[in-house]
């Protein structure tokens, strides 16, 4: 028998299901309602008791399908990854086009479900979820088909996720703060500009940058910033591909 230290880390994805789920209250139904609750009220509102009330079921009934709130978080995270559209074709179009589409898709998903910003680092083994594993596998396949070795394809996918999720989580936190304030992004930005410009008086480059951006749509600026960073990331991979591509592997 393995020692306690050697015990396999538990995961909702590998835990055997209990008895056959009843149609009236399935895991799928529970997860879908949890996503609706999170979208409407945020992560602070999520509890098994509140979710049970929304489902007209007791918390005990939920625990027959989901062992804990931690498991529920893993399930809802993978559920929203399942919303992403895949590029057409076996591995999509040109690797750069497919990667760009996926990156924008992940960002849009995070911004649509901003509560995810507070749980991505606390969801244990959520990366074992079938939707995220499917996406990751296809992304690795895209880089492999382009000419990257398997190990480097894996590194590229991890780096891409780090950029996309890091940027989008910061945006989601910002948008969540705005929602709580009751102000639009444009309203908040217009109120902030006088203080920002005054604070930047001693910093000529920042002052010039602020002046250039004043009056522009803040969402458009965020979109441009994300696209710029993604393009430069892919530029680097394209240069790297020239060194490790099919002709040099």
Residue 171: which of 117, 220, 233 has the closest Cα? 117
CATH number for position 204: 1.10.357.10
Q: How many domains does the chain have?
A: 2
Least confident of 4-18, 48-62, 68-82, 99-113: 4-18
Are residues 53 and 109 located together in one domain of the fold? no
Is residue 108 one of the residues assigned to a domain? Answer: yes
Band of residue 3 on the pLDDT scale cut at 50, 70, 90: low
Q: What is the DSSP string of 77-116?
A: HHHHHTTPPPPSSSS-SSHHHHHHHHHHHHHHHHHHSGGG
Q: For residue 240, give its domain range.
A: 95-244
Highest-confidence segment of 41-45, 117-121, 198-202, 224-228: 224-228
Q: What is the pLDDT of residue 93?
A: 62
What digits encode the pLDDT tens for the residues 170-218?
Answer: 999 898 888 889 999 999 989 988 898 899 999 999 999 988 888 899 9
What digits encode the pLDDT tens for the residues 127-166?
Answer: 788 999 999 999 999 999 999 999 999 999 999 999 999 9
Are residues 158 and 198 located together in one domain of the fold? yes
Rounded distance between C-alpha atoms, residue 123 and residue 126, angstroms: 6
Assign 22 to helix, strand or coil.
strand
**Long-range contacts of the stretch 221-227 (C-beta < 8 A, 24+):** 222/171, 225/167, 226/104, 226/107, 226/167, 226/168, 226/171
Rounded distance between C-alpha atoms, residue 66 and residue 71, angstroms: 6
Residue 118: which of 158, 160, 176 has the closest Cα? 176
Burial class of residue 95 (count of CB atoms within 10 Å of its CB; 0-12, 13-18, 19+): buried
Answer whether 0.85 is exceeded by the pTM. Answer: no
Q: What is the pLDDT of residue 21?
A: 46
Residue 226: which of 176, 180, 182, 160 has the closest Cα? 160
- Round the average pLDDT of the chain to a whole number and report it: 86
Least confident of 33-37, 93-97, 129-133, 167-171: 93-97
CATH number for position 36: 1.10.10.60
How long is the chain?
249
Band of residue 237 on the pLDDT scale cut at 50, 70, 90: very high
Domain end marker among 51, 81, 111: 81
Is residue 88 one of the residues assigned to a domain? Answer: no
Q: What is the pLDDT of residue 236?
A: 97
- Asked if the model's pLDDT at residue 91 lies above 70, the reply is no
Rounded distance between C-alpha atoms, residue 232 and residue 147, angstroms: 19
Assign 16 to helix, strand or coil.
coil
């Amino acid at each position: 028998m393995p020692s306690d230290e050697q015990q396999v880390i538990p995961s909702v994805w590998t835990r055997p299901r209990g008895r056959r789920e009843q149609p009236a209250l399935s895991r799928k139904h529970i997860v879908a309602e949890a996503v609706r609750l999170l979208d409407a009220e945020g992560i602070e509102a999520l509890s098994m008791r509140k979710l049970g009330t929304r489902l007209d079921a007791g918390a005990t009934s939920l625990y027959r399908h989901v062992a804990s709130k931690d498991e529920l978080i893993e399930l809802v995270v993978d559920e929203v990854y399942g919303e992403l559209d895949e590029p057409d074709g076996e591995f999509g179009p040109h690797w750069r086009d497919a990667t760009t589409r996926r990156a924008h898709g992940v960002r849009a998903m995070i911004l649509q479900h901003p509560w995810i910003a507070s749980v991505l680092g606390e969801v244990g083994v959520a990366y074992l979820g079938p939707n995220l594993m499917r996406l990751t596998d296809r992304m690795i396949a895209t880089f492999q088909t382009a000419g990257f070795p398997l190990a480097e394809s894996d590194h590229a996918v991890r780096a891409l996720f780090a950029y996309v999720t890091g940027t989008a989580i910061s945006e989601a936190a910002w948008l969540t703060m705005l929602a709580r304030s009751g102000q639009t992004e444009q309203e908040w930005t217009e109120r902030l500009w006088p203080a920002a410009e005054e604070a930047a008086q001693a910093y000529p480059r920042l002052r010039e940058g602020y002046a250039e951006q004043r009056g522009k749509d803040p969402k458009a600026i965020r979109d441009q910033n994300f696209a710029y960073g993604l393009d430069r990331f892919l530029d680097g991979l394209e240069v790297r591909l020239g060194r490790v591509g099919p002709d040099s592997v």
